Amino acid sequence: MTHDDPIQAQLIAARRTQILDAATKVFAEKGFERATIKDVAKAAGVADGTIYNYFKSKPDLLLGILNRLNESEQRRDDLAQISQGSVREQTRAYIKHRLEVIQGQGFEALRVMLSEVLINQSLGSTYFEQVIQPTFDIAEPFLKQQADQGVFRSMDTALILRFISGTFLGLIMLRLMGDPKLIEQWDNLPDLITNILLDGLAADGENNDESAS
């Protein structure tokens, strides 16, 4: 029946993309539950029924959005290998790249996922395993290596990962909440994060001991 017509395949892929784009936009505006299939169809410029030719159900649209996030996430891997320059340079490069990846996939998709992830068990697990966990797996060896070489102070590596990941996540949340300061200064974040992460807030090493009461 379905001859593997490459032109057909492209049309289908294009239609899927068109629908997922619309769904992302609409879900981001109204939230997954409040958005209706009619809303999505209208935004995509198709009939209600057409959506069901490409997605099994409304929740399936959500998975479609998540999968696109995963894909753009995966494409980042090679870049993460750039281990050139000083530790500081590498760190800054990593942070910058992570923020760019996030920005690249669009804040709308993130808004959709983050708003659902806390109250949708299965989606939450999938998101953690497929999006968050992989970032841990990539950053952890780097952190361990620096700690072993005495470049980084010895602390619980896994927890540090949570700290870093949490910082990214939290900054995105604040931005999505509409904090104007953060929107305005978003491009200054890589430097700020790098500095605090490596050196902390304290003015210099001497201040760091507790004897200075």
Asked if 5 interacts with its own copies (CB under 8 A), we say no
Closest contact distance (angstroms) between CB of 158 and its own copies is 5
3 state DSSP class of 82 = coil
Q: How far apart are CA 108 and CA 208, in angstroms?
A: 41
* Binding window for its own copies (CB under 8 A); candidates: 8-16, 48-56, 59-67, 200-208: 200-208
Cβ-based burial of 164 (10 A; exposed 0-12, middle 13-18, buried ≥19): buried
Locate tokens 């490596």: which residue? 198
Handedness of CA 165, 28, 105, 134 (dihedral sign): positive
Q: Which of 59, 120, 138, 142 binds its own copies (CB under 8 A)?
A: 120
In the region spanning residues 17 to 46, those forming contacts with DNA, defined by CB under 7 A, are 34-38, 46
Q: Any residues with CB less than 8 A from the CB of 24 and at least 6 apart, and which?
A: 65, 106, 108, 109, 112
The correct pick among 10, 57, 145, 207 for binding DNA (CB under 7 A) is: 57
**List 9, 11, 13, 119, residue binding its own copies (CB under 8 A):** 119
Binding site for DNA (CB under 7 A): 1-2, 8, 11-12, 15, 34-38, 46-50, 52-54, 57-59
